[in-house]
Amino acid sequence: MSSSTQINNEFFMQEALKEAKKAYEANETPIGAVITYNNEIIARGSNLRETLEDSTAHAEMNAIREACHKHKSWRLEDCTLYVTLEPCVMCAGAIIQSRIKRVVYGAKNKRFGAHQGAINLFSVPFNHQVEVIDGILEEECSKLISAFFINLRKGK
């Protein structure tokens, strides 16, 4: 990975972390996502499952919906999704279905992840293959999620 690619990945992951912090402040699991096209953010999303009482309101899904609306297409070819936590199976399916070119994530999701966690859905030979880059700002992403669950257990 070139140094400019690394810098871009870190910049956009910082933007995804801003979305995760919004979720944290709303007492939602702090996961954030941004989608870029031509190195510009076209959509943002944070986890809103509790707020919307919707099991599909993951950060990735919310960002994908917004990107499709702004892009005026369900096909998000040449787009990159940055997300603070490894996508789950539902989100990985939506990423594949929407033809997103690349996924960049921070923290691993050992229990529910669809790349290195429970399953590697991105390695299945579907008609669309997604490039996956992991571990970008992993420590920051992991700390935010860990802090949320520690405070949740303490009743804060």
CA nearest neighbour of 99 among 131, 63, 130: 130
The helix-helix angle for 138-154 and 3-25 (nearest 10°) equals: 10
Chain-centroid distance of CA 18 in Å reads: 12
Pairwise CA distance, residues 147 & 140, whole Å: 11
Q: Which residues pair with 114 in a beta bridge?
A: none
Enter the tokens of residue 33.
């996502």
Q: Is residue 28 among the annotated active site residues?
A: no
**Of these residues, 60, 66, 77, 140, which one is catalytic?**
60
The radius of gyration computed from the CA coordinates of the chain, to the nearest angstrom, equals 14
Q: What is the dihedral of CA 116, 22, 17, 68, to 10 degrees?
A: 70
Pairwise CA distance, residues 22 & 4, whole Å: 28
Catalytic residues: 60
